[in-house]
Amino acid sequence: MMSRLLTLVCTLTLLCVGVSAASAKPARQPNIVILFADDLGYGDLGCYGHPTIRTPNLDRMASEGMRFTDFYATAPVCTPSRAALLTGRFPVRSGMASDTRRVLFPNSAGGLPANEITLAEALKGKGYATACIGKWHLGCRPQHLPTRHGFDYFFGLPYSNDMDFVPGSPGGSGSLQPKSEWFNVPLYRNEEIIERPANQPELTRRYTEEAVRFIERSKSKPFLLYLPYTMVHVPVFASKAYAGKSPRGLYGDALEEIDGSVGQILETLRKQKLAGNTLVFFSSDNGPWLIQKLVGGSAGLLREGKGSTWEGGMREPGIAWWPGKIRAGQVNHSLACTMDLFATSLLLAGAELPTDRRIDGIDMRPLLFQEGPGLRKAFIYYRDTEPWAIRKGPYKMHLITKNGYGKEPMVRHSPPLLFNLEADPSEQFNVAAQHPEVIEELTQELNRHTATVVPVTNQLELTEIK
């Protein structure tokens, strides 16, 4: 009797375990949120040392996650930088870099080629909902808009907010008191213009509201939210809630509003119980536009800014947040760049990296989850279609130098310049004569890279729309 009873109990237990195992849901793919400022300087956030710009939400994001000290944008200006982030490839490979027209303009005929695989397309193939909310700048013809590149939803501007300047307007894009009506820039919802000129002081607030709504309606499935803010590109605007509040002036107002936006998005993820399954990454497309003076940002101790391959043009804040997955309070000194977000996001989603083209992005998971050393050994600094510098370890070699903006000509260096960025992050002391072996190693590394670059149609130089 006892034997039959024990057998029955064991059978029922096994059945229950079987039912439980069958009904258990596999772990859902993580959500990916990329928050991307425009023209933000390395020294502009509180957690990167700015004394008067208040960024409590980004500071908290860094304290709850990982702050990178050596994170790079892949280009020093808008269009190529954004192409690199979304494709995981140096922009020269897709024709999204030019020596004569450095970015796309409203009259440009080109844009991100249809045969490029974007982060949105790759994740959409794995069941993700996708949205681009903010500044696009990868082509403004219908065939180049975000909705043609894997994004289910687009709300934002097709290009920079200083374009379509209205002739005869009383001030320029760098004004401390700009007006929306000075710029005839359109605001899109999907492929329809819903406002022209866009009400620029309200853009950050509206982007945030759209992003929150997207998260709320997409919470039942994995999603990609790409939020490239229009600010703090000139003309700089802030809504009434932030205008006149920052000790740093108008630039600080606009950046503190971005910080408020980040806080709202992270709080939405917490309220929707999504924080534990969401990677959030904050960075910027390039360094500060120094010639804009008080409405431009600061690269801190780094040399130069936007448009250049000096450190201030391409080294950016990089903050990763994923409660329960990324250990809080980390400061990471490994090399990483925006292209790496492509590879990392695909691998986190269970997607394979494309094998029919060269992917320059590298998996960041060992860095994020402390599983080992960083896999990126070198970083190449492109200005337009040509590599001007390369970094490996602490050493950076410059073949060509020029400030981001100005009339002075570029200078080709033979022998190249060499800086030890760990000892000299401001790039003041050339140590090439002391380290010929490093020059040789970096030259070979760069030669291996350039041998992989194949000429393609230049999208930025295609016949302009009249």
Cα distances (Å, whole numbers) of residue 11 to 8, 24, 401: 5, 20, 76
Catalytic residue among 10, 16, 47, 78: 78
CB contact at 8 A, 205 and 194? no
Backbone φ and ψ of 314, nearest 5°: -135, -20
Cα dist from 393 to 283, 333, 368, 402, 420, whole Å: 22, 10, 19, 23, 9
Pick the closest to residue 379 from 400, 358, 396 (CA basis): 396
Read off the tokens for 193: 């213009």
Give the burial class of 92: count Cβ atoms within 10 A of its Cβ; 0-12 exposed, 13-18 middle, 19 or more buried: buried
Residue of 463, 464, 460 whose CA lies nearest to 83: 460
- Which CA distances in Å does 411 have to 97, 116, 330, 402? 20, 34, 39, 7
Active site (annotated) includes residue 78: yes
Report the relative pairing of strands 31-37 and 278-284 from DSSP bridges: parallel
Catalytic residue among 137, 144, 149, 233: 137
Query: How many Å apart are CA 68 and CA 317, to the nearest integer?
Result: 7
Q: Are 242 and 205 in contact (CB under 8 A)?
A: no
The beta strand positions in 26-86, using DSSP E, are 31-37, 66-72
CA angle 232, 313, 388 (to 5 degrees): 150
Q: Are 438 and 430 in contact (CB under 8 A)?
A: no
How is residue 464 written in tokens? 């302009």
CB-based burial, 420-457: b 16+ in 10 Å, e otherwise = bbeeebbbeebebeeeeebbebbeebbeebeeeeeeee
Assess contact for 153 and 132: CB atoms under 8 A.
Answer: yes
Greatest Cα pair distance in the chain: 100
Catalytic residue annotation: 78, 137
